[in-house]
Amino acid sequence: MSQPAIVIIDVQNAILEGPALTRPEETQAALHAVVGRIAQLIDWARQQAIPVIFVQHDGPAGHRLEVGTPGWRIRPEIAPHPDEVVVHKTACDSFFETTLDEGLARREVTDLIIAGCMTQYCVDTTVRRAVSLGYDVELVADGHMTAGADGLSFEQILAHHNGLLDGFDAGSHRARVRPLREILSVDDEIHSK
């Protein structure tokens, strides 16, 4: 029997801020929509008694995610409940030198549903690492976000990584990429049986 958990990566106030941000109004509007979908995922998980684990990037002094600054805080729309775990990291890999794997093992978690920021860095790296550590992963196709980079729009980066990660495997474990509505409707059917 599989035991799922939700992992929300780096949905912090200043995650998509800075002078290099291209198309800032469109990027922020898209981020707001993604945060709304992540809030739906979290609400659903809480109703199903599925653990929700937040990953928060701890930036150094002067970084937009500098520890303790307003930009570092998790967005209020998805604020963790007092009994929910917040894992702190300093690298793209949410498992690297953190307590994430240990905490999941204590809860006997086998499957992860992942959403968050930034797609080509922390989301991609964490999905791949989770699969290689033996978790089956569902990445919420419309539940992760990034900014444009290297001449690519955020839409192109999202589409590229959704295609790239869907089917990524290590041994018998794999990643699947599905939109939120599909994840919630299929999982509701499973839990109602």
CATH number at residue 106: 3.40.50.850
In the structure encoding, which two tokens stand for residue 100, read together?
A: 């994430």
At residue 19, the pLDDT reads 66
CA-CA distance, 105 to 9, in Å (whole number)? Answer: 18
- pLDDT for the residue 186: 62
Q: Give me the average pLDDT of each 10-residue run along the chain (193 residues).
A: 94 87 86 98 97 98 96 98 97 98 97 98 98 98 93 94 98 98 72 44
Domain that holds residue 117: 4-192
Cα distance between residue 140 and residue 34, in whole Å: 10
The model carries a pTM of 0.94
The per-residue b/e assignment along 22-61, b for 16 or more CB within 10 angstroms, e otherwise, is eeeeebeebbeebbebbbbbbebbeeeebbbbbbbbebee
Please report the pLDDT score of residue 139 as a whole number.
Answer: 98
Q: What is the pLDDT of residue 185?
A: 87
CA distance 136 to 132: 9
Task: Give the Cα separation of 40 and 183 in Å (integer).
Answer: 11
Structural domain count of the chain: 1
- For residue 146, what pLDDT is reported? 96
pLDDT at residue 192, rounded to an integer: 45
